[in-house]
Amino acid sequence: MNKVWLIIQREFLNRVQKKSFLITTILVPLIFPAIIGVLVYIMKKEAESAKADTVQVVDESGKFIFESGKRFAFVPLSMPLEQAKKAYNETKDFALLYIPPFDINKPEGMVIYTKENPSIEKVGNLESILQDRIRDLKLEAYKIDKETLKSLKVSINLKQINLSDTGEEKSSNSQILYFLGFGLGILIYMFVLIYGIQIMQGVIDEKTSKIVEVIVSSVKPFQLMLGKIIGIASVGLLQFTIWIILITALSTGVLGYFGLKMPQQQAMEEVAKQMDNEEVKIAMEQQQSKATEVFNNFFQLPLGKIAFVFVFYFLGGYLLYGALFAAVGSAVESMQESQQFQFPITLPLLIGYFGLFMFILRDPHGSVSFWLSVIPFTSPVAMVGRIGSGVPDWQLALSMVLLIGGFLFTTWIAGRVYRVGILMTGTKVSWKVMAKWFMMKG
């Protein structure tokens, strides 16, 4: 056991001391806040520096009253279109808007003339200004005032509450659960794959550099394999912990800097201010109350339990697949050669991954979801995808026990292939050959 500890130490220190470890550990969590930060910064800058575009207007209908705002400065022209076009061409203005006489029930024939292709956003903004005005005209025509209209607007938000067996009420939110399950499931999938491949790479390196014969003359091959798997797992856990801490700290920092406002919210406020539109304000308030509700719901989730389950399935899944990756690494002599074996062993993991989208997130309590989250090969991805939605304890216990059994089983198989494989060179390896190694006596 002392020797396994030495191997774990070497695997851990050797990886942690590498520059690449330092770089990925620090850079990865920086990427997301950095992208968000840069985008928010650019949006702010652009909003500040934006000048209103001048739009010349030839309104032959006489139905419009244009108010210049932050976005557009309107210059009404009282000349025929042909003349206006010529005049527009000599200016540097953004656009020339032409409104012919029209029927409010069939508003047609409006044209915008520009020198360059205008952005969809700007055209859309102009369109909505026109639409608002025509709608107002219609309201007038139908003799409906704005207040009546406002009172007609209805908004319903179903509050979700889980009634537990004890009658305890728990507010829930399927959206949070969806994203939580989605995020955690993908994390497990990625971790198992990334660190599994690291195990394989390590085994191949030891085999091709021939150091392995020296090592196995000092320790049992199984100890070497175990030490490597555990060593890399601790690297993964360390990296993950640092990521969590850094991401939390950074996002708090970034959000704090921008006044705890998400970019969308901020944009909406801008719009509301500018348009001075009651409807938007109401919608925004609703949105805000929804956001706080989301926060509250999130913290009502059994976060401790979820974290525990996540770490358990991360380790369980990693150990289960890590052993298989080690076995493949021991059999081949290069990464290229390993490819043909990689796909079959990761197939169940991939099934879990697709199952996450097709069944678990849609229907966490269906029978397919149940089986996926209980079978050890798919359960690491599937169970963390389900956990937020509340999994009965007996299912969780069954799944955990099976996962432990599963990784003991794969480790046992892998160990038998590994002990023979690492000393075999120049053999053309196939599944059949590996099966033979597995059957071989010590």
Q: Which is nearer to another protein, 8 or 177 (CB)?
A: 8
Alpha-carbon distance 132 to 74, whole Å? 16
**Number of residues lying near another protein (CB under 8 A):** 24
Q: Using the rule CB under 8 A, which residue among 3, 170, 261, 281 binds another protein?
A: 3
Q: How far is CA 79 from CA 86, 87, 98, 243, in A?
A: 11, 10, 11, 65
Give the closest residue to 434 by CA, choosing from 326, 352, 335, 347: 326
Least distance (Å) between residue 207 CB and another protein: 9
Q: Which is nearer to another protein, 59 or 206 (CB)?
A: 206
Q: Which residues within the stretch 88-117 sit at the binding site for another protein (CB under 8 A)?
A: none
Q: Which is nearer to another protein, 7 or 197 (CB)?
A: 7
User: E-assigned strands of 80-213?
Assistant: 95-99, 111-114, 160-163, 169-172
Q: Which is nearer to another protein, 35 or 423 (CB)?
A: 423
Where do we find the tokens 């993950």? 240
Q: Which residues within the stretch 8-67 sit at the binding site for another protein (CB under 8 A)?
A: 10, 14
Q: Which stretch binds another protein (CB under 8 A): 5-13, 110-118, 266-274, 310-318?
A: 5-13
CB atoms inside a 10 Å sphere around CB 184: 24
Q: Using the rule CB under 8 A, which residue among 214, 259, 394, 428 binds another protein?
A: 214
Give the closest residue to 14 by CA, choosing from 191, 226, 227: 227
Q: Which residues within the stretch 215-234 sit at the binding site for another protein (CB under 8 A)?
A: 215-219, 221
> For the chain, how long is the longest CA-to-CA vector?
100
Least distance (Å) between residue 425 CB and another protein: 8
Q: How far is CA 110 from CA 37, 126, 135, in A?
A: 40, 11, 16
Provide the mask over 184-213, with x wherever binding to another protein is found by CB under 8 A and - wherever it is not.
Answer: ---------------------xx--xxxxx
List CB contacts of 397: < 8 A, sequence separation 6 or more.
none
- The answer to whether residue 70 forms part of the interface with another protein (CB under 8 A) is no
Query: For residue 59, what is the enclosing H or E element?
Result: strand 53-59
By the criterion CB under 8 A, which residues form the site for another protein?
Answer: 3, 6-7, 10, 14, 205-206, 209-219, 221, 423, 436, 440-442
